Amino acid sequence: MPPPLFLSSGDLIADRRFEFARDLQLKGDLAAAADLLDQTVELAPDFVSAWFTLGEIRLELGEHDAAIAAFRRARDADRQDRHGASLRLMRLGAEALSDMPKAYVQTLFDQYAPRFEAALLDHLSYRGPAILFKAVLAVRAAAKQPAFFKRAIDLGCGTGLAAAAFARQVDRFVGIDLSPGMIEQARGTGLYAELEVADMVEGLAGRPETSADLIIAGDAMVYVSDLAPVLAQARRVLASGGLVAFTLETHEGDGVILGAGLRYAHAPSHVRDVVQAAGLSLAHLEAASPRTEDNVPVPGLVVVASMP
């Protein structure tokens, strides 16, 4: 969670009550914590972190409507929505599915950057890059073409884990990520000829036509609800015969949902439709779990599409 955000920063009473409420929350006394947070937001009506925490507690107490009201106040008090209150509202069915707030994603990964690799590799058995690499090799082998690429773009590059998997197959890598913290981590790897702070669509939009032979996104499209704009830009940027490869989380229903982990899950049929609508050829679509959570593999897909 981002640091407490509230307009009346000099209100030490509200700040102290918020800290006491957080202590009570950690001790499991949710009702007392909620009462104290009610007092806090009465003193400081624009205290974003207090509203957000109150929403979490109301939800845990089973108070659905009160949780929605608190999350709405948190979002309205911070229009950038750095806490991601709008995502909680989507999960609660109070608002339609939409893209994640950019400030939320940036804040999340700026905070996560120093421990990102350890968390993924040591605790989540992250295998997205290996899955991507294997899929791209399979597509190239089926086409009887070498799996070597002069120019590649790594979308949502993070610390460079996906680029590392492809390093021997790519002459020049460009990394694009919304988080400056992640970009700084990636810079230290020496894997990238160029790094840019931008979201996927913006980053691709700034690239010339037919300027890439490979575009990869390892565990990054899970933060994108609508794949169409990204794939449309990928098609524009890819040279003839180029590939775009990415991992996704998936579900057994239709379309796109926001999962309990606050990542989007895309149904296989939906992915096929979006790839076709983008004017790309689906070369590979396979079930593949990119990570493990609570000792259970997360349902996923690996997708490779080609530029005609």
Question: Domains of the chain (ranges plus CATH)?
Answer: 12-96 (1.25.40.10), 114-306 (3.40.50.150)
Is a pLDDT exceeding 60 seen at residue 10?
no
Using alpha carbons, select from 123, 120, 141, 97 the residue that is nearest to residue 251. Answer: 97
Strand partners, 154: 175, 216
Amino acid at the residue 280: L
pLDDT of residue 124: 77
pLDDT of residue 2: 56
Using alpha carbons, select from 223, 224, 240, 221 the residue that is nearest to residue 280. Answer: 240
Tally the residues of the chain: 308
Q: How sure is the predictor about 8, in pLDDT bands with cuts at 50, 70 and 90? A: very low
Separation CA 143–CA 32 (nearest Å):
64
pLDDT of residue 102: 96
Tokens of 67: 């949780």
Is a pLDDT exceeding 70 seen at residue 27?
yes
Average pLDDT, the chain: 94
Helix/strand/coil for 92: coil
**Could you tell me what percent of the chain has a pLDDT over 70?**
96
- Tens of pLDDT, residue by residue over 235-285, are 999 999 999 999 999 999 999 999 999 999 999 999 999 999 999 999 999
Is a pLDDT exceeding 60 seen at residue 127?
yes
Buried b (16+ CB within 10 A) or exposed e, 120-129: beeeeebbbb
| Average pLDDT over every residue of 66-92 | 97
Is a pLDDT exceeding 80 seen at residue 162?
yes
Q: How sure is the predictor about 6, in pLDDT bands with cuts at 50, 70 and 90? A: very low
What's the CA dihedral at 175, 162, 265, 241 to 10 degrees? 80
Tokens of 177: 């990520």
- Tens of pLDDT, residue by residue over 189-207, are 999 999 999 999 999 999 9
Residues 303 and 282 sit within 8 Å (Cβ to Cβ): yes
Q: How sure is the predictor about 112, in pLDDT bands with cuts at 50, 70 and 90? A: confident
Q: If you compute the radius of gyration of the chain from its CA atoms, what whole number of angstroms results? A: 21
